[in-house]
Amino acid sequence: MFLNAISFPVAARAHRLQRWAVWSVAVVLLITIQAAAFGQSSRVNIDSPAWLAEISAIRTNLNAESLPDLESAEASMSAAIEATRQYFRRATSASNFDDWMDYLEMQPLAEAIESNETIATKGRAALGLLPQLRGVERGLELPAIVHLREAVDRYIAALRYADPERGLSLVAKQLDGLADLLSDENALRDLDAQQRDQMELFLGGLADAGQASRLREMIRSRFMHPNLWVWINGEPVTDAVSRPVDNPNVVNECILGTRLRGQARVTGCVTAELLPQDGYVRMILRLRGTFATSTRGFRKPISLDSTGTGTVYTARQLAITPTRMILGEPVTTADISTRIQRIHHPLKIVRKIAMRQANESKPIAERISERKLRERVEKDFVEQTNEAARRKIPDVDVELNPWLSRLDFPPLQREIGSTSSEVYAHAKMQHPLGFAAAAPPPSAAMIRDSISRRNDGVHHDYLATFQIHESILGNTFGRLLAGQTFAPERIERIIEVLGIELPEREEQQEAIEIDFANFRPVYFEAGDQTLRLGLRATRLSRDGRELKVPVEVSAIYRPVIGEEGQMWLIRDEDVQFSFSSSRRLSLSQTAIKANLEEGFEKLFPLELLHRHLPVPPTIKAPMLAGRLLEIISIDLSEGWISITVE
């Protein structure tokens, strides 16, 4: 059966305690190097008194009956554990079933529920199970695992609000926190990144408590814009479709009783033009050409030589959706002008009569020839475009969705479209309780215009512009890493799973372990042409030396321009350590901090995006496969990073 292929070797089980967090941070760092960035301000107009009145009304009418029912959640949790066991018992072999049970480690939670342990004990068991349900291993996208993960989330929420009195007190604190954030007259308009994340945290807590659904939706509706945009230069797209046309043909036809034999040739070109359209890419394909013919006509007792010239035009609209290509009906025109060069017959009088008759029938013959030419050109054009439209478009969802499901990432909501000069795609990754972008990104066209201004009007043929908003991180890795442990030596397991080949390292990397904080475990902030990368932890360890205090580690990067116009990011100061504790570090902690600073100098390198970006040779785009992309623009503003490549 299918699941027989989903085996967990002993080595994989040995790595299970930290696997998911490790993978997540590895990808976060990769995204950092390859272009992720995040911002400081969300611009939303809002009436602050209205929000405060809504919060006050909710606070006045708090009701413990709306809190999650622990007994019901506990029953659902036990049922989900048993359903998972039964699923794998039915769907896989006995040995693979044992591997799955060893890997998932559901027994501690099941026993805690069965023996009615304390809330704290049950909570630790549930939190211990959750990381096992998120990761890169094949099989974590299975419905049984997804259902189990959802049951664990609901159970943790029910445990958090198990005591009605304490639960309502926690809800009240969350409402107070929202009120503080919304008390300024500008309200949401000038939230910085941390304040926005705090608001998202408060709303998530209210959702877990089953409170303030209307307020949650009102605020969340202000953060629904796509948080990923890609703009692709239309010229390479249309150039890939355009081609010259040179079609010779043998003429062997009968028109008005005259048998014509000879040669004909259509020369010209097929061009493509993008058209403005939302929801799919729309373009018009055109064939413009000239027609030339040289024939001899036979009609007893004479023959005649003639030449013809003309023009042909045919066009057809093409719609490219995420799943297929759709072609419209063709429109074709043709015109022909013929000239009789010579009539062959021994008698002059016969030649004269034949010429007069040929000239009289010429308009009708030309109309017939034009019709035949239109039909022939249109038939060939339709066949060729139909063949192109039958090419299968790769199903992104088939490849992407299993990975998103394994990692418990939200589905990618995407849309494509076109302008007269570009193809674009925008996407949104937004968890049901999370925020997306509050506003569209800065104009990509204006950012590209700055490139030519920077280079004294010299034009750069850009390939694409990528724009990424900070909210992608909060909806993916931020949630995944919260409260988890990261140990770099575990990356090898992730590399093995992903099938990535890396060059051999000359020296052994020093071990750094990070226990991530629950709030903003990783973050990127972009604004005023600076990029701040940071992480928040409750414990740091290097080479067995441990610093167990809340700490924030961050670095600031700024764009720089090379001699040939390329751009990259460079760190403008040392990596910063900020300790939230009011107590001064002890001598031993200070020594450990110095040791850690050296390690984090490597974790936050001096330069980012300073290398060419290789395009895999296997990509299904001949114009890009195997080529190197160079960054010619980096813009960091309004919470977005915008990167243009050529």
Quick one: three-class SS letters along 326-390? EECCCEEEEEEEEEEEEEECCCHHHHHHHHHHHHHHHHHHHHHHHHHHHHHHHHHHHHHHHHHHC
Average pLDDT over residues 465-474: 92
Residue 134's pLDDT is 87
Structure tokens that stand for 200 in this block: 């998202």
C-alpha to C-alpha distances, 621 to 354, 556, 631, nearest whole angstrom: 58, 36, 20
CA distance 376 to 469: 52
- Runs of H (alpha helix) within 437-508: 444-454, 471-475, 477-481, 491-498
Residue 493's pLDDT is 56
Q: Which residue has the higher pLDDT, 364 or 327?
A: 327
CA-based nearest residue to 266, from 251, 248, 244: 248
pLDDT bin (cut points 50, 70, 90) of residue 63 is confident
Q: Indicate the average pLDDT of the chain.
A: 82
Instruction: Count CA within 13 A, CB hemisphere, residue 426.
Output: 18
CB 20 within 8 A of CB 620: no
Give percent of the chain with pLDDT exceeding 90. 36
Q: What is the pLDDT of residues 84-130, one digit of tens each?
A: 999 999 999 999 999 999 999 999 999 999 999 999 999 999 999 98
Per-range mean pLDDT, top range of 153-167, 349-363, 440-454, 626-640: 153-167
Q: Which residue has the higher pLDDT, 458 or 199?
A: 199
Residue 545's pLDDT is 76
Examine the pLDDT at 491 and tell me if it is beyond 70.
no
Examine the pLDDT at 7 and tell me if it is beyond 60.
no
pLDDT bin (cut points 50, 70, 90) of residue 604 is confident
pLDDT bin (cut points 50, 70, 90) of residue 231 is very high
Examine the pLDDT at 303 and tell me if it is beyond 70.
yes
CA distance 329 to 314: 10
pLDDT bin (cut points 50, 70, 90) of residue 367 is confident
Q: Which residue has the higher pLDDT, 530 or 626?
A: 530
Question: Over the Cα atoms of the chain, what is R_g?
Answer: 34
Examine the pLDDT at 19 and tell me if it is beyond 80.
no
Amino acid identity for residue 389 in this structure: A
CA distance 567 to 308: 57
Structure tokens that stand for 270 in this block: 């097929």
Examine the pLDDT at 262 and tell me if it is beyond 90.
no
